[in-house]
Structure 1
Amino acid sequence: MTQPSVAFVGLGYIGLPTSVTMANHGLTVTGVDINEDNVGRINRGEVTIVEPGLEELLKKAVDSGNLTATTLMPHADTYILAVPTPFKENHEGDLSYVFAAAESIAPLLVGDELIILESTSPPLSTKKMAEKILTLRPDLVADGSPNPDDKPVIHFAHCPERILPGQAMEELITNDRIIGGQTPEATRRATEIYATFCTGELLPTDDTTAEMAKLTENSFRDVNIAFANELSLIADNLGINVWELIELSNHHPRVNILQPGPGVGGHCIAVDPWFIVAADKENSNLIRTAREVNDGKPDWVISKVTHAVQHLEKPKVAVLGLAFKADIDDLRESPALNITKRLAVSLPETDVLAVEPNVESLPTSLGSMKNVRSADLHEALDEVDVVLLLVDHREFKALPATTLKGKTVIDTKGIWR
């Protein structure tokens, strides 16, 4: 049986690892991205993101000829979209990137193609994507729709990714996968694609349930993190060490409280719950409150730093970590990055030394600020009065306690408790 050709649209934190994995499992993959520089680097076998194990596997995929990257949309048997799906100011999903990809795909379709939306999306997004394509191509029809004129058929599915940055190359293969076709035939075809590389269970359902499942998984985590973050605020007011409190509580056989932090970031947990809230405002009170608790935690962190520097003549603060989680370079929806920006604005007389070992340079939003500069870890610790730990990178965990002597330490991750 001939393997279907795949066009993977979007070569970011999800698209590049997935394209590489598919190519190394025998599929012919064309990766499509609007960033010409990244496309060129990928075709040279150069990684564009930090992901353990990716560089060697990318070179293997490119050298085999199974993976090429381009800025031009090709024709393919299967299209997989992993483009951004941010939310708007009202927290409703922004599908503009999905629709832009659909507009590029539509002119190339001849019938019998499968189009899979992988991007984490609000409920009914796959349906809206299909409607967009079929509006542009009225000579085609979606599988399962009435077709008295015997038009060529297009198949649609939603198969959300479930990988953790930093562990993507393993989890792409081993994690269970939800396969949500709009019809049983779409589910069957999508299952064949993911079965080429997934050893986890492939779980069939419909597209809307698949969309909601991914949102539910991340909302569950968000609610539980909010409980830990709310506990941290209460414990601080009572003079209690919240990490000791949680450790003791977790000795109960049916209790497993997560760890607090400076907020919640990333492209999923900080975004996805809002899609559920937007879909049903009346019945999503707990999910909305959890989002508000986690979005409010940076305020508490900033108040701690403000208090720590208020009596210093020329205060300097080392901010340790800008990524949204440990040991990666991903800054999307990062509470650490947001806190650093807000500190620089609210404390203009304070020098902020940003330490992020996983990026080569500060993002533009920080680099343009006069009182913010990038610094090496030990350089920063030599200079500053206040140390604010926002991300528990391995480099920070390895610091001897003696390097912090005499400094005010605000540890939002509990690594120096």
Structure 2
Amino acid sequence: MKFKAVSVIGLGYIGLPTAAVFASRKIQVIGVDVSPSAVETINRGGVHIVEPDLDMLVHAAVTEGYLRAVTTPEPADAFLIAVPTPFKDGHQPDLSYIEAASRSIAPVLKKGDLVILESTSPVGATESMAAWLAQERPDLSFPQQVGEDSDIRIAHCPERVLPGHVLRELVQNDRVIGGMTGKCAERAVQLYKAFVEGDCITTDVRTAELCKLTENSFRDVNIAFANELSVICDTLGVDVWELIRLANRHPRVDILQPGPGVGGHCIAVDPWFIVSQAPQEARLIRTAREVNDSKPQWVCNKVDQLVEDVVLASGKSRRELKIACFGLAFKANIDDLRESPALAITLDIARRYPAQVVAVEPHIQEPPQSLQDAGVELVDFSIAATADVLVFLVDHRIFNEESLLLQGRQRLLDTRGSMAVASR
């Protein structure tokens, strides 16, 4: 049975590209979001997030009549839930967005519908979603009640895309699909094969949930090694970038590049889901998170040291100095500030040096409210380059295209090792 209409709940960095790709395959897509402004923007054929080529794809889908956005769910044949899964105090998973989305679609469910949780989730979240749906719709049967013969099919299929390459990776990457039953998984594969060119590998829901968490925890552990190595090198007076370049010439060594920390909606969050459910066993995963979470504080302390150097070298007072932070996004060449260590570092520096900090972020139009409240102004690269202390936090491509000539009084902290610098 073909899918005539697909509903995507949550039109953010994953939901909107997914909706647009389905629509590009001539499938009717109903996007649902709680933000009236996002819904209005999409229905005009525009986008409220930055992702290469997404604006053209959405505009075409809306113009051709295959995509429309609403604030209240409507009937469809398949429902994909792609809402945030942050954590609460103590790094405990917050499933309130998933619960709200589940209960919102329950009234429009009908026999034969498919519901897929795409949100990255702790193990058991999909089963919780199924339970919430069953509470709202006792007239329908669900997999946890009757197994293979359920009225509603339930599955989990986590996204695994890279910001800046989402549209390509949605199509080309393999998908891990966990069904609450075999028939649930088969139905979900039928849906994703509308656009996925990679393999669709089926498993059970709990394995699918843990698979995504494992992928991001693996990356977090390896980043933590690089970040810890950079701190060790600073203590020992060794150039970490040269060290890694040499070490990586070993045929079985592939050390990642260190940075100011780890951000984004996945790597900075997902490992804590594992830790929260297996706190005694997840010792390495917890330590990696703590190493990466501590790196922004280390960066801020290094800035303090550079400020002291400038004071000694120039004779200026601390209050006269200007500090420029380059990059606010959580990674290069995107506008996403979620869990961004660069943003957190800029805020911390601004608190330490009130009215002395400017920022450069070419991918956003205005600073977030938190920076405005801290008195941080967005400026051009050329203006920021005249500051006394320059702190490079994100290796945006546009930064690497700029030439930087340091004066004798200036100090530079390049947390990404990417800037070509000349001195005089």
Q: TM-score range by the shorter chain?
A: over 0.9
| Alignment partner of 1:326 is 2:329 | no
Query: What is the percentage of aligned positions where both structures have the same residue?
Result: 53
**Inter-partner Cα distance in structure 1 for 2:144 and 2:291:** 43
Shift of 1:99: 0.5
1:347 aligns with 353
Segment drifting more, 330-339 vs 101-110: 101-110
For 1:198-277, list aligned pairs within 5 A.
Answer: 198-277=196-275
Match of 2:31, SS? Answer: strand
1:295 aligns with 293
Segment drifting more, 393-402 vs 171-180: 393-402
Cα separation, partners in 2 of 1:378 and 1:202, compared to 1, 3 Å: same
Q: RMSD between aligned alpha carbons?
A: 1.4
Shift of 1:145: 2.6
| Alignment partner of 1:113 is 2:119 | no
Cα separation, partners in 2 of 1:260 and 1:6, compared to 1, 3 Å: same
Shift of 1:294: 0.1
2:405 aligns with 402
**Inter-partner Cα distance in structure 1 for 2:394 and 2:409:** 21
Stretches of structure 2 that go unaligned for 5 or more consecutive residues are none
Match of 1:156, SS? Answer: strand
Q: Which runs of 4+ in 1 moved over 6 A?
A: none
| Length-normalised TM-score, structure 2 | 0.94
Aligned residues: 411
For 1:33-112, list aligned pairs within 5 A.
Answer: 33-112=33-112
Q: Which amino acid aligns with 1:27?
A: I
Q: Which amino acid aligns with 1:339?
A: I
**Inter-partner Cα distance in structure 2 for 1:163 and 1:206:** 21
| Alignment partner of 1:363 is 2:368 | yes
**Inter-partner Cα distance in structure 2 for 1:404 and 1:98:** 52
| Alignment partner of 1:375 is 2:379 | yes
**Inter-partner Cα distance in structure 1 for 2:296 and 2:338:** 16
Segment drifting more, 399-408 vs 286-295: 399-408
Contact 1:306 1:347 in 2 (8 A): no
Which of 386, 390, 394 is the equivalent residue of 2:393? Answer: 390
**Inter-partner Cα distance in structure 1 for 2:69 and 2:302:** 47
2:418 aligns with 415
Contact 2:130 2:144 in 1 (8 A): no
Q: Which amino acid aligns with 2:363?
A: N
Contact 2:327 2:392 in 1 (8 A): yes
Query: 1:92-151, CA deviations, whole angstroms, 9 ceiling, x for partnerless residues?
Result: 11000000011111112222211100000000000001111111222222136338xx9x
Q: Which amino acid aligns with 2:183?
A: E
| Length-normalised TM-score, structure 1 | 0.96
Q: Which amino acid aligns with 2:359?
A: A
Query: 1:22-73, CA deviations, whole angstroms, 9 ceiling, x for partnerless residues?
Result: 1001221100001111111111111211111111111111112111111111
Segment drifting more, 24-33 vs 317-326: 24-33
Shift of 1:208: 0.8
**Inter-partner Cα distance in structure 2 for 1:200 and 1:146:** 32
2:283 aligns with 285
Match of 1:145, SS? Answer: helix
Segment drifting more, 321-330 vs 404-413: 404-413
Match of 2:90, SS? Answer: coil
| Alignment partner of 1:129 is 2:129 | yes
Contact 1:178 1:202 in 2 (8 A): yes
Shift of 1:406: 4.5
**Inter-partner Cα distance in structure 1 for 2:86 and 2:100:** 14
**Inter-partner Cα distance in structure 2 for 1:93 and 1:315:** 42
Match of 1:330, SS? Answer: coil
Shift of 1:401: 3.5
**Inter-partner Cα distance in structure 2 for 1:110 and 1:173:** 29
Stretches of structure 1 that go unaligned for 5 or more consecutive residues are none
